[in-house]
Amino acid sequence: MGTGIYYFLLILILFVVGKDGPTDRQLKELRENINKLVYNREIEGRCCLPEELPATLKLFLQNESGKYDINKLSLRQLKYLPSWTLIEKFPDLQDWLNPSLKRLSNEKNDSAVIAKFYLLTTPSSRTYGNYKEILAGSCNLLLQTSNGREFVKALFSSSISLEQKAELAESLVAHVDNTVHENVISALLYDGWYRFVHPNMASLPKETKDKMRATINQAYEQRIPSMKLNKEVFENDYKDFQGAYAQGILIGGEAPELGFLWTSQGNYRKLSDLRGKIVVVDFWATWCGPCRQFGPIFEEASEKYPDIVFGKIDTDDQQQLAMAAQITSIPTLMAFRDGIAVFRQSGALPLSALEDLINQIRNLDMDDVRKKIADADKGE
């Protein structure tokens, strides 16, 4: 066979067959470059301004398409893709990956559920039917990865109805066992429980709440002994979950007595209803690291001083109340006695300082406090 004919056939074969699919190394480099682009504003040694990100990424993907055919991505290679949250940020990246993901999601394989999950980066795909399809399949593989956390967060923050979330929550907890990723358990607690299945969500069936609480409880108990990293944080989370706030009751009293501390329904009572009592209130949020660190300290103080009413206010769920209290940073601690605000401070307190504060409040001469308030009002 002549050399000319050989090269002609080779070119013909390449034309018919097309480019190869991406190698594992190429996908790892893709992920690394996109991470650098998002977090360092740098890609392939070049810097770009924040407003140039979409155009820079689009050009980068065009160059990648010249190296390999992303549509030949395999199920095994899904683990090398950029994180779900990064794909979610860029529609061009979604469009580039979605044909492959749609093809892979139809395969009869447990790993196909990962492809279905990645498709949820497109907001229009976050439907009840798609969540149900993922949960109906074998989603254990998904929950064993850090991407499982993003799935839980996406499910509970989606715009589907409360009733549909309740149904899907029951399906979700059925897949939770001692193999799930630790981040999945944290997401179940903070995005699932505190924001969705909290006991004060009265419209949810009690059975749903009980199932989810039991599952989270079991997952924590199974995973904590085997933890190597973040064990202390995990143990604090677990203690927080055992506390009164997670159970929907005041630390030292029933929640209905101070409904506004726990719900945003609007039918709350005033602090003046607790005249004669000392009330300590912690303004916090689930995403706030210092708040979570302060949680066990607050809990310990509540157990040590049963005569004092302790309450927690989630500033995300209780935005109007937080605004009324002029909360600008968290955690913020406020204390009241006889319906009068006697202390306010931003930042977490160590246990010794919190105990000292409680003793100082106990020793206050309230007649003197009222006199000072009256004098201040006259001065105005």
Sequence-separated (6 or more) residues with CB below 8 Å from residue 182: 223, 227, 230, 234
Cross-strand bridge partners of residue 46: 43
Considering the candidates 47, 48, 139, 288, report the single residue annotated as catalytic: 288
Query: Residue 43: helix, strand or coil by DSSP?
Result: strand
Query: How far apart are the C-alpha atoms of 10 and 371, rounded to whole Å?
Result: 97
Give the closest residue to 213 by CA, choosing from 235, 234, 242: 242
Amino acid occupying residue 154: A
Query: How far apart are the C-alpha atoms of 326 and 348, rounded to whole Å?
Result: 17
Query: Residue 122: helix, strand or coil by DSSP?
Result: coil
Kindly state the tokens that stand for 243.
């506390």
291 is known as an active-site residue: yes
Kindly state the tokens that stand for 152.
């839980």
Could you tell me where the beta strands, DSSP code E, fall in the chain? Answer: 42-43, 46-47, 278-284, 309-314, 332-337, 340-346
Query: How far apart are the C-alpha atoms of 194 and 316, rounded to whole Å?
Result: 11
Query: How far apart are the C-alpha atoms of 137 and 119, rounded to whole Å?
Result: 15
288 is known as an active-site residue: yes
Cα distances (angstroms) measured from residue 335 to each of 40, 131, 321, 348, 350: 43, 44, 15, 14, 16
Query: How far apart are the C-alpha atoms of 148 and 143, rounded to whole Å?
Result: 4
Query: How far apart are the C-alpha atoms of 206 and 229, rounded to whole Å?
Result: 34
Using an 8 Å Cβ cutoff, are 80 and 113 in contact? no
Characterize the bridge pairing of strands 42-43 and 46-47.
antiparallel
Considering the candidates 47, 48, 139, 291, report the single residue annotated as catalytic: 291
Active site residue ranges: 288, 291
